[in-house]
Amino acid sequence: MYKTSTCFIKGQIPDTSVFELLQLYKQELENQSISKIEIRDNSLTFSNNIFKIVTNRYANKFSSFTSGQINIEDNGSEYLVAFEADNTRTFIVAATISNGEMELSYMYNQEDVENLKKNFDKAIAAANNKR
């Protein structure tokens, strides 16, 4: 579990509401290819598909989280922002890839596995260059 918090002094962002701040966070999450985003009351929840290959170059900040929540509280002079997220997606994907490589090594000789890895790396590089 990952947790952090911050605050914005209202004078720094005059005439801004909690809803407008949530919309800014939502836009950032959309830019990073997050799978599902919802705003309810003073909070935003998001989740990622476990096996989603993201080719968006901006998807590095939130792509490792399985799910999370951003809460914003207005205390009169400040907006208090609390972030909490589950980062198990990183471990699940890594374990799956690792397990897949192990299974491939049993099915194919080492040279075949290395060629598959090279082709996979080339495909990822080509997808990144298309952006």
Q: Give the pLDDT of residue 72.
A: 96
pTM of the model: 0.64
DSSP 65: -
3 neighbors 71 (Cβ within 8 angstroms): no
Residue type, 47: S
- Averaged pLDDT, 109-114: 59
Q: Give the pLDDT of residue 24.
A: 93
Residue carrying the six token digits 């060629």: 115
pLDDT in tens, 41-100: 999 999 887 666 666 665 566 767 788 999 999 998 999 999 998 877 566 656 665 655
39 neighbors 22 (Cβ within 8 angstroms): yes
| Pairwise pLDDT comparison (72 vs 11), residue with the higher score | 72
In degrees, rounded to 5, the angle at the alpha carbon of residue 49 between the alpha carbons of residues 48 and 55 is 85
Mean pLDDT, rounded, of the chain: 77
What is the C-alpha separation between 13 and 122, in angstroms, rounded?
A: 45
- What is the pLDDT confidence band of residue 110, given thresholds at 50, 70 and 90? low
Spatial CB neighbours of 104, under 8 Å, sequence gap ≥ 6:
112, 113, 116
What is the C-alpha separation between 63 and 49, in angstroms, rounded?
A: 9
